[in-house]
Amino acid sequence: MIAEAGLALLWLAASLSLLQLVLGAAALRPGNEPMVGIVRPVAIAQGLLVGLSFLALIWLFLRTDLSVKLVAANSHSLKPWLYKFAGAWGNHEGSMLLWVTVLAVAGAGVALFEKRLRQDTLIATLAAQAVIGLGFYAYILFASNPFERLFPVPVEGNGLNPLLQDPGLAFHPPTLYFGYVGISIAFSFAVGALVTRDVGPAFARAMRPWVLGAWIFLTLGITAGSYWAYYELGWGGWWFWDPVENASLMPWLAATALLHSVTVLATRAGLRAWTIMLAVVAFSMSMIGTFLVRSGILTSVHAFAVDPLRGAFILALLTFYIGGALTLFGLRVRHVKEGSTFELVSREASLVLNNLLLSVILGLVFIGTLYPLITQALGREISVGPPYFNSAIGPIALALAAIMTLGPMLRWRRDELRALSARIAAPALLSAAVLLVVVLLAPGISWLPLLGLAVAPGVAVASLAPLWGRKLRRTPLFTYGMVIAHLGIAVALAGMAADSAFTQETLVAASPGQMIAAGPFNIRFVSAEPVAGPNWTAIEARLEARRGEGAPFPLTPQARLFDSPPTPTSETSIQTLWDGQLYAAIGDGDDQGRWQLRIWWKPFVTLIWAGGALVALGGFLALIGRLRRERRHRPEREAWA
Amino acid sequence: MKPKNQRLVLLALAGVAVVGAVILAMSAMRDQASFFYAPADVARQGLPLDRGVRIGGMVRRGSLHRHPDGVTIDFLVGDETPATIRVTYRGITPDLFREGSGVIAEGRFRPDGAFTASEILAKHDENYMPPELTRRGMHKTDAVH
């Protein structure tokens, strides 16, 4: 029953989405103004219905209703409840339902809360959101129905991929989706504003909080995903330039650029067409990411479906939406006015530079991710890995971090070069001093981490500059937000540079009782014991680590074997200290009673994710600050009739 | 500057950035991208010694040896032809690495024809078959000698 109800709700939501499009399009015609009032409730109802449908799927997973094909294929009655719950989206159909749920809920959010946008633009925005929704409803209903029944009903389910059986599954995919799909709002705003020719500062001020909200989730989702890969995979790395990672990075880069250009549009009425273009590009990157990850053209833990038809379906949707938006852009761009001008030394100019560098990085990631797929289709196998990305992107990212600190120091419209150089003198000196110290104390570090180590402290100090000489109590919250987000970039940069410069790795085959030296630590291999969990058994290495005369602490890496499906995984053990992490993984045993142990000492690696969290926190403060200021300054408007 | 002219300047800048990105990407790609070789390719085309490459195939049954240090292994990678590549790897192998299963390794060839892997790519599926091999019409059963 629940499965049928879920499917019925989904069909209803899809029909409401069609209604939302038709009514919205009709309401935009002159003379049809009375229809305007219906579009908002329809969007809200659509969000509600698809939300209920998603809850129905979660219910089926919690109950392990094996008569549903998806549950039988991906769940198991003996799985811990958290993974039953999160397992609802740990598969292709469920994750697509989550996708469309976030899409519809975001649309409902706009219908509920958006009060600043011109009425006709809002209606056009909701209609555009409905167009996106329709395509993905069709995809789910015709090509990946999550509520399909199975007969005969199996006795037991197949279980969930053990790599996904981690608390990270409950957090990482929904967060990332809120960001990924939340960017659709920016896209729909852009399409709406093109349709009603409403591209201007008021439009930008309305759009900014939505972009900011999606961007915060995207930042959090990427940070969490990176940490998850770091501790789950046991390779000691935190970013692999894997296509699925790039698929989440590309929308983030575009959204970051958009966030900065929308500020120029809101404050100085500049970069109009460019901002619209970025909004289209950002959501296009989300859809390309969905295509890459979900179509099965990549082999990865994220690719659930290996059905060429599904890939073709998403590709068709993607071509339609991106092509449609670009066509609209081409037709309407000459109606978009030129922005106000600015001088070469001005905040606008620095933000243009920020956007150019972010776009170049986006282009490099895009080419590196898609070029191998294209050559593959042409029959030539090449693989593009970390060496390409690091060497091509590293220097530009460092330059971007340095430029990031200039923008907030500059005045809008025009500023003096001499004043600017006085402001950046101290941070620049600090960076030079750090560079000198690192070169003298730790020679032999390759140039990219070395530059990273030097640039990070300068950027950190310079990012605080907007607070210098201001009354801290009277500084607006969004300024704090910007400062903290920029500081977070510096912190993350320091972590990345420290990790690649100073990581020490030890690989040994050791017997219990043996001492292992790993960086500044002495580690005693106490024993290797069998242990068991709710649905797995494991060999656990008991290690005791201490640095110098410090207090010893335990490390217990495991080699697990999950029951259903029977799959070996390795479970790392990580000890976080104030100045870094000690990370241990266990490999195979041999016939002499030895176990392979791989131990990393990673100084200050935690700064990477702390930095990511700071960036998201900064975004959050900026969002609150903007909304509060608007509430205070918004002129009284007539209520919606 | 007139708004119209400034727009043109910005447009030109964006164009320069895009072209710059493509040029940068292509030149980095020429140096850094690694090409895929199956054992048959090496037998046919000779050893690619000048650059890092990726090799892939099936781990031949009975070919896996562990060195006395306990952390170095070597094994033979084969494909549907009689050709094989001897691979040496120092490290912990991925969870699903075993004889008879598909493998992709990244690293360099030595002049004697053996391959030193810097990384064995982990794939998280017991039925995993490197797509590079599937596309050549090779199936899992073919490789189980």
pLDDT (tens digit per residue) in A404-425: 988 888 888 888 888 888 888 9
Give the tens place of pLDDT for each residue, A88-132: 998 889 999 999 999 999 999 999 999 889 999 999 999 999 999
- Residues in A 242-271 with any Cβ partner in B closer than 8 A: 271
Considering CB atoms only, which of B25, B66, B95 is closest to A568? B95
Q: In sequence order, what are the residues at sequence separation of 6 or more whose Cβ sits closer than 8 angstroms to the Cβ of residue B68?
A: none
CA-based max dimension of chain B: 76
R_g (Cα) of chain B, nearest Å: 21
Residues of B whose CB is below 8 A from A363: 17-18, 21-22, 25
Q: What angle do CA A251, A46, A279 make, to 5 degrees?
A: 25
Q: Please indicate, yes or no, whether residues B80 and B11 belong to a single structural domain of this protein.
A: no
Q: Which amino acid is at A145?
A: N
Q: How far apart are CA A196 and CA A25, in angstroms?
A: 11
Residues B24 and B81 in one domain: no
Residue of B nearest to A589 (CA): B70
Regarding whether B125 and B104 lie in a shared domain, the answer is yes
Q: How far apart are CA A623 and CA A262, in angstroms?
A: 14
- Residue B127 pLDDT exceeds 60: no
Residue in A381, A571, A592 to test binding to B, most B beta-carbons within 10 Å: A381
| B23 interfaces chain A, CB cutoff of 8 Å | no
**Distinct helix (H) and strand (E) counts, chain B:** 4, 7
What does pTM read for this prediction?
A: 0.92
Q: Is A384 left (phi over 0), alpha (psi -120 to 50) or beta?
A: beta
To the nearest whole Å, the CA of B86 is away from the closest chain A CA by: 21
3-class secondary-structure state, position A584: strand
Nearest Cα of chain B lies from the Cα of A24 at a distance, in angstroms, of 33
For every residue of A543-568, DSSP letters joined together read EEEEETTSPPEEE--EEEEETTTTEE
Peptide bond into A152 cis (omega under 30): yes
> Distance between CA atoms of B40 and B49, rounded to whole angstroms?
16
Same domain, B56 and B2: no
The proportion of chain A whose per-residue pLDDT surpasses 70, expressed as a percent, equals 97
Query: DSSP class of residue A474?
Result: G
Query: Does the pLDDT value for residue A484 go beyond 90?
Result: yes
Mean pLDDT within A278-289: 94
Residue B122: pLDDT band with limits 50, 70, 90: low
Q: Which two tokens stand for residue A302?
A: 């994220």
In 3D space, the residue among A312, A185, A326 whose CA is nearest the CA of residue A251 turns out to be A185
Contacts of A391 in chain B (CB under 8 A): 28, 31-32
Is A183 within 8 Å of A253 (Cβ atoms)?
no
Q: Specify the higher pLDDT residue, A428 or B130.
A: A428
B2 vs A contacts (CB less than 8 Å): 341
* A385: contact with B, CB 8 A cutoff: yes
CA atoms within 13 A on the CB side of A16: 23
Quote the number of domains for chain B.
2
B30–chain A Cβ distance below 8 A for any pair: no
pLDDT, average across residues B97-106: 84
Q: Chain B closest CA to A38's CA: distance in Å? A: 40
Mutation for testing the B interface, residue in A300, A383, A564, A586 having most B CBs under 10 Å? A383
Provide the pLDDT for residue A244. Answer: 84
> What is the bridge-based pairing of β-strands B34-37 and A382-383?
antiparallel
pLDDT of residue A324: 94
Question: In degrees to the nearest 10, what's the CA dihedral of A290, A291, A295, A296?
Answer: -80
B12 touches chain A (CB under 8 A): no
Are β-strands A558-562 and A553-555 bridged in parallel, bridged antiparallel, or unpaired?
A: unpaired
Q: Which residues of B touch A360 (CB under 8 A)?
A: 17-18, 20-21, 24
HSE (CB half, 13 Å, CA atoms) of A366?
20
CB contact A594 to B (< 8 Å) = yes
**Confidence tier at B92 by pLDDT (50, 70, 90):** confident
Same domain (yes/no): B29, B40? no
Question: Of chain B residues 70-129, which have a CB less than 8 A from chain A?
Answer: 70-71, 90-93, 95-96, 106, 122-126, 128
B140 — pLDDT class (breaks 50, 70, 90)? very low
Residues B55 and B41 in one domain: yes
Model confidence at A588, in pLDDT bands (50, 70, 90)? confident
Least CB–CB distance from A338: residue in B4, B31, B93: B4
* Residue A150, number of CB atoms within 10 A of its CB: 15
| Most confidently modeled range among A9-18, A222-231, A559-568 | A9-18
**B20 and B57 share a domain?**
no
How many residues are present in chain B?
145
Instruction: Dig out the tokens for A374 from the structure.
Output: 């294209």
Given this model, what pLDDT does residue A473 score?
A: 86
- Cβ distance B3 to A338 less than 8 Å, yes or no, reads yes
What would the mean pLDDT of A349-365 be, rounded to a whole number? 93
Is A565 touching B (CB cutoff 8 A)? yes
Kindly identify which residue of chain A lies nearest to residue B119, measuring between CA atoms.
A235
| Interchain contact A364–B (C-beta under 8 A) | yes
| Chain A hits for B90, Cβ within 8 Å | 507
Report which of residues A401 and B9 the model is more confident about: A401
A340 chain-B contacts, CB cut-off 8 A: 3
Q: Does residue B113 share a domain with residue B47?
A: yes
Tell me the mean pLDDT in the region B106-124.
83
d(CA A521, CA A139): 54
pLDDT at B38: 85
Residue A256: pLDDT over 90: yes
Task: Give the H or E element holding residue A16.
Answer: helix A2-27
The CATH number of the domain holding residue B85 is: 2.40.50.140
C-beta atoms of A367 and B29 within 8 A = yes
B140 CA: distance to closest CA in chain A (Å): 16
pLDDT band at residue B141 under the 50/70/90 scheme = very low
CB pair distance less than 8 Å for B25 and A368: yes
Q: How confident is the model at residue A310 (pLDDT cuts 50, 70, 90)?
A: confident
By the CB < 8 Å criterion, does A585 face chain B? yes
Question: Chain A residue with minimal CA distance to B68?
Answer: A509
Residues 6+ apart with CB under 8 A from A222: A176, A245, A248, A249, A252, A612
* Residues on chain B touching A339 (C-beta within 8 angstroms): 3, 6-7
Calpha distance B12→A395 (Å, rounded): 23
User: In this predicted model, what pLDDT tens digit does every residue of A504-541 receive, in sequence order?
Assistant: 999 999 999 999 999 999 999 999 999 998 888 999 99
Q: Is the pLDDT of residue A5 over 80?
A: yes
Domain check: are B63 and B132 in the same one? yes
Same domain, B29 and B48: no
Instruction: Please enumerate in sequence order all residues whose Cβ is within 8 A of that of A71, keeping only pairs 6 or more positions apart, or say none.
Output: A60, A61, A64, A65, A157
Mutation target for A interface from B124, B129, B136: give the one with most A CBs within 10 A: B124
Candidate from B13, B22, B92 with C-beta closest to A585: B92
Question: In this predicted structure, what is the pLDDT of residue A601?
Answer: 96
Mutate to test the interface with B, among A242, A299, A301 (most CBs of B within 10 A): A299
Q: Which of A359, A376, A569 sits opposite B17 (nearest CB)?
A: A359
What gap in Å lies between CA A428 and CA A425, rounded to an integer? Answer: 5
Min Cα separation A357/chain B (Å)? 8
* Res B124 pLDDT > 50: no
Does any CB of chain A come closer than 8 Å to the CB of residue B17? Answer: yes
For residue B58, give its domain range. 36-143
Q: CB–CB of A46/A16 below 8 Å?
A: yes
Residues B6, B76 within the same domain: no
Chain B residues whose beta carbon lies within 8 Å of the beta carbon of residue A233: 122
Q: A482 — phi, psi (to 5°)?
A: -60, -45
Which of A412, A411, A433, A430 is CA-nearest to residue A420? Answer: A411
Number of other CB atoms surrounding residue A327 within 10 Å: 10
Q: How far is B145 from chain A (nearest CA, A)?
A: 24
- Percentage of residues in chain A with pLDDT exceeding 90? 63
**Interchain contact, B71 vs A367, CB within 8 Å:** no
Share the mean pLDDT of chain A. 90
Interface check for A15 against chain B (CB to CB < 8 A): the answer is: no
Run of H or E including A528: strand A521-532
Neighbours of A298 (CB within 10 A): 18
Strand partners of residue B9: none
- In this structure, are B46 and B109 located in the same domain? yes
